[in-house]
Chain A
Amino acid sequence: AQKITQTQPGMFVQEKEAVTLDCTYDTSDPSYGLFWYKQPSSGEMIFLIYQGSYDQQNATEGRYSLNFQKARKSANLVISASQLGDSAMYFCAMRDGNMNSGYSTLTFGKGTMLLVSP
């Protein structure tokens, strides 16, 4: 079974609107971390936001927030007030197991391409 599922291959949003990118995950470990990365056409992977499984509150970083619903195993990324520069591929990723272990690795979803129109 896939550990990380991103069901939206592509999303369109108008500038200044909010958009939600979906991500569901699968793990039996009680300790895990969820990450979102942005990959523009240049190829670099830009870290956006992190949510720990034991965090009580949803993570926020500027215009990015993570809607963490633990019982549903979902970790959707919400981008508020979209900008043209937000057009990129977005990847959801998870680390589970021993978070302190050097061998605990990130598993990525297939990504969602977001296009922001004027």
Chain B
Amino acid sequence: GAVVSQHPSRVICKSGTSVKIECRSLDFQATTMFWYRQFPKQSLMLMATSNEGSKATYEQGVEKDKFLINHASLTLSTLTVTSAHPEDSSFYICSARGSPYEQYFGPGTRLTVT
């Protein structure tokens, strides 16, 4: 299957700082990328959908000013958690869609806010 990379895999930051997570599709062009959040022992919760060159579409209840998403190219999307707080600590997973019938996930980023 196609490869999606995510960086960093783990990050610890202090409360009030911002953290940027990168998601890259390595061997295909992804017109659409997705960002998910997963709490322990729970399913994936979609945060936002981003299409290359346009503004991200956020799910209800997700603060767009807090979770900034940029999809600058067909292979790169970034999620910036601004002014992070301990409740933002979670596992963040990006996903990239190559065709309507394929959707691949990155390895995830574990964010801990102290």
Known pairs A102-B51, A105-B34; A43 contacts B103 (CB<8 A): no
Interface contact A102-B31, CB-CB below 8 Å = yes
**A75 to chain B: closest CB distance in Å?**
15
Interface contact A37-B49, CB-CB below 8 Å = no
Inter-chain contact total with CB atoms closer than 8 Å:
58
Q: Is there a chain A Cβ closer than 8 Å to B1's Cβ?
A: yes
Interface contact B105-A47, CB-CB below 8 Å = yes
In the complex, the chain B residue whose C-beta lies closest to that of A101 is B100
Instruction: Enumerate chain B residues within 8 angstroms of A99, measured Cβ to Cβ.
Output: 100-101
In the complex, the chain B residue whose C-beta lies closest to that of A107 is B46
Q: Interface residue tally of chain A, by bracket?
A: 20 to 34
Which parts of A13-58 form the interface with B (CB within 8 Å)?
33, 35, 37, 42-47, 50, 52
Query: Within the assembled complex, what's the spacing in Å between the Cα atoms of A50 and B101?
Result: 7
Q: Is there a chain A Cβ closer than 8 Å to B75's Cβ?
A: no
Digitize B31-65: 1 where CB-to-A-CB distance is under 8 Å, 0 elsewhere: 11010001000111010010100000100000000
Q: 27 A-B residue contacts at CB 8 Å?
A: A33-B100, A37-B105, A43-B91, A43-B107, A43-B110, A44-B106, A45-B95, A45-B105, A45-B108, A46-B105, A47-B1, A47-B102, A47-B105, A95-B103, A99-B100, A99-B101, A102-B31, A102-B32, A102-B49, A103-B51, A103-B57, A104-B100, A105-B34, A106-B34, A106-B46, A106-B103, A111-B43
